[in-house]
Amino acid sequence: MKLLRLIATMALFLIASVGAVYLAPAQARPKQNERIAVFEPSIARQGRLVLHGSSNVGLMRALILDYQRIHPGVEVRYSHLDTQDIYQRSARSAAAQERPDLLLSASTDLQIKLVNDGYSRPYRSPQNQALPTAARWRDEIFAYGYEPVVMVYNTAHLDAQRAPRTRSQLQKLLRESEHPLRGRIALQDPRDSAVAYFIATQEAKLLGNDAGPMLTSLGENQARLFKRMDNLLDQLSSGEMVAAYGVFGSYALQRIERGAPLRIVLPRDHLLLVARTALILRDAPNPAEAQRFLDHLLSARGQAILAREAKLIPARTDLPAPARIYPDLDPNSTTLRRTPLGLGFLVYLDEVKRRRFLQQWRNYLAPDSAATAAAR
């Protein structure tokens, strides 16, 4: 009996030890929607920079590596997060977790709210003062590039001659008797994504009275709703979806470069350009490093890398235009609608306004009876 008890005790000890080995890393592991990349310095570490960004690391890698060529002793830690997570983490107590130095987000409204609520640190430099007035606000938030909100289609399932070039052409295609896009047109769900909500509110402002009929047409064709843009593009690339409405151009271009049979359409009636913005957190652990990285973002060198690698339209207009990322884009077109930075973005963050907007959005799209929630 003593021998059996001894064996049992040793077994329990081993199980507990193995459990400790596996549980400790799990506790340190980031949440599932956080993806962390650490860029080690090439010489002895002299500094550290923590970035929270909504762009996937593939789009930011070249810029970070270039920054380290100039500052080889700086370790850069990049956390890819949803824009809602970027906002919520930055608005929490500093003791809650590791604090970022610089926030890089596509949800302009949430970034403006952080500035307005006192979470940002002002910074003036020749680089950020070279931005157009509409691309900076209170010397605390800066547009470092613009994302076109585009339509995308799968070339294996929709002929280029048939692909819509405007929203009215899209509605016409949706109304065709054979319903070529029924159950196979995708869009992001603003109820689940802060970026999708921001895009939806800006599109509604631009479309005015035409916003309702557009959503109704999508709902009648059983539009599929996605929480994440990556999942949407996965199904579009595979052919499960034929077309998508309201997609960031950079993500679609990244798929095209990998060989996906996709084509981007820049709507000719109006093209929404969403600012990707940067702000230095008020309690940033490494504010000087954040300032240097922000200047690099906005320098001629940084803007060229962002255009080439991150597929962003440059925010600065005083530099030579880079090679066109989107051949059909005319930078001087009167149809371009850049999102200017300012307090106007806070309107749709009001909880009553938000609930009313989403209720109206649901009523137009009729999600309970027509639009089908996609697997996420």
Stronger pLDDT, 35 or 174, i.e. the higher one: 174
Q: What is the pTM of this model?
A: 0.84
CB distance 376 to 227 below 8 Å: yes
Alpha carbon distance 109, 113 (integer Å): 6
Tens of pLDDT, residues 332-369? 788 999 989 999 999 999 999 999 999 999 999 874 54
Domains of the chain (ranges, CATH numbers): 35-146+275-338 (3.40.190.10), 148-273+346-373 (3.40.190.10)
Reply yes or no on whether the pLDDT at 82 is more than 80.
yes
Report residue 6: phi and psi, to 5°.
-65, -45
- Cα(150)–Cα(327) distance, integer angstroms: 13
Helix, strand, coil abundance in the chain, percent, nearest 5: 45, 20, 35
Buried-exposed string 206-238: b where 16+ CB fall within 10 A, e elsewhere: ebeeebbebbbbbbbbbbbbbbbbeebbebbbe
Q: Which pLDDT score is estimated for 328?
A: 83
Distance CA 252, CA 244 (A): 10
The C-alpha atoms of residue 333 and residue 219 are separated, in whole angstroms, by 31
- Tens digit of each residue's pLDDT (9 = 90 or more) over 236-273: 999 999 999 999 999 999 999 999 999 999 999 999 99
C-alpha atoms less than 13 angstroms from C-alpha of 271 in its C-beta half-sphere: 25
